[in-house]
Amino acid sequence: MDRPVSICACGCICAAGPDTRTCFETMLNGDVQPRVIPGFSYDQPMQSPVFAVKNEWLSSDEQTPPLTNTMKLLYPAVQEALAQAGLTPEKLQDLKVGSCIGSSTGASLNFKSFYQKWREGDQPDLETIESYLHCNPAAAVADKYNLSGPVQTVTNACSSGTDSIGIAASWIRQGLCDLVIAGGADALSGISYTGFSRLMITSPERCRPFDKDRQGLNLGEGAGILILADETVIQNLKLDSIAQIMGYGTCCDAHHLTAPHPEGTGLKQAINEALERSEIDAQDIGFINVHGTGTENNDRIEGQVINELFPSTPFTGIKGFTGHTLGAAGAIEAVMTIMSLREGVLMPTRGFRNAEPEATAVPITSRTETATSYALSDSLAFGGNNSALVFKKGAE
């Protein structure tokens, strides 16, 4: 069994809102619509709307070189989580604090304009390159808060956010850190938009996870952050324990570059590992926050695994509110899973209307009360990466 790791705060920003509470309330009681952004057209035959974050919600920090868009999303989520926990920069200096952030594209595509100008024979300014070099997500957070613990940026495609939280929990268990700032962040990018369009898995309308008439995904952007803490630190600083990470499982089945294994082999192994490390059974899970992209292969395989392992467990997917935020997806979904545990209520799966004929389990479609202590959040990613986290409700 893995020793439970306490979560003392969280932060979130996405198209549904600039902070955790707003995002949660929007998903419970409101709505947000994706929109077509002309700058991402790239002469694609079909335009797919995206879930973009409002400019006024982004970090306004001024620095040289300037922040990348991913960092403009990440900093507000980190700042919210630290403020929620009451962790000032002065308090952080007395602790060994790690930074573990997942990102799929992050700053790596920030130099496209430089490359374009260089190919055209120009001599572009190096500011874009300098921005890229200074905006490694985990390293930038460590530098900003002068952290003394381990630093790791995780790039496991769409499971990056989930994996960063699982890795961060292991740092706490091994005594490497007193606290870890963990999660994921990704901004919208013209290159990723073009790539997903060329794969022909984007939708011309709002995505419809698990719906029999689904047409694909919408891309989104955002950041989700958890503050993980050692129990001694929780007690000494009188921090709240809002939830616990009970177990983490991950498996790369390496079936295909972009498609999941047809039998969900890797996903099943990751979920079973997370359950085993938590020392609980599948029937103890009260609800699941699923990956649910709205693509044909992902939803079909993930649905098969849920039908097999959790035939009567309610599940919900939030990408109809956020879009697919790539490396941030698992982290944002972890934050919303924790909020549902704390508040005792699940948000609907926006976009879902009609189930597959063979489906025995379907996502919830309306606000649903829950009194469970345990929840699961899972992620599927390119390259056959599959990861899962089991969370437990914190003490009242």
Q: Which of 231, 226, 258, 266 is nearest to 387 (CA)?
A: 266
- The confidence score (pLDDT) of residue 110 equals 62
State how far the Cα of 256 lies from the Cα of 384, in Å rounded to an integer: 6
Per-residue model confidence (pLDDT) at position 119: 87
| Residue 251 annotated in active site | no
Return the CATH fold of 5-393.
Answer: Peroxisomal Thiolase; Chain A, domain 1 (3.40.47)
Report residue 250: phi and psi, to 5°.
Answer: -145, 145
- Among the listed residues 12, 100, 177, 324, the single catalytic one is 324
Along the chain (396 residues), what's the average pLDDT of each consecutive run of 10 residues? 92 98 97 85 75 94 83 97 95 96 76 80 80 86 96 95 98 97 94 87 95 95 97 94 97 87 93 97 97 94 94 96 97 98 96 86 92 97 94 83
Q: Give pLDDT, residue 336.
A: 98
pLDDT of residue 118: 84
Looking at 8, 14, 158, 207, which residue is catalytic? 158
Query: Given 14, 23, 100, 291, which residue is catalytic?
Result: 291
Q: What residues does each domain of the chain span?
A: 5-393
Neighbours of 62 (CB within 10 A): 7
Determine whether 256 is an active site residue: no
Tens of pLDDT, residues 349-384: 999 999 888 777 789 999 999 999 999 999 999 888
* Res 298: pLDDT: 93
What is the pTM for the complete model shown? Answer: 0.95
HEC letters along 34-87: CECCHHHCCCCCCCCCEECCCHHHCCCCCCCCCCCHHHHHHHHHHHHHHHHHCC
DSSP notation for 292-324: ----HHHHHHHHHHHHHH-TT--EE--HHHH-B
pLDDT value at residue 64: 74
Residue 1 CA to residue 289 CA, distance in Å, equals 23
Is 134 one of the annotated active-site residues of the chain? no
- Quick: pLDDT tens for 89-122: 999 999 999 999 999 876 556 677 787 888 888 8
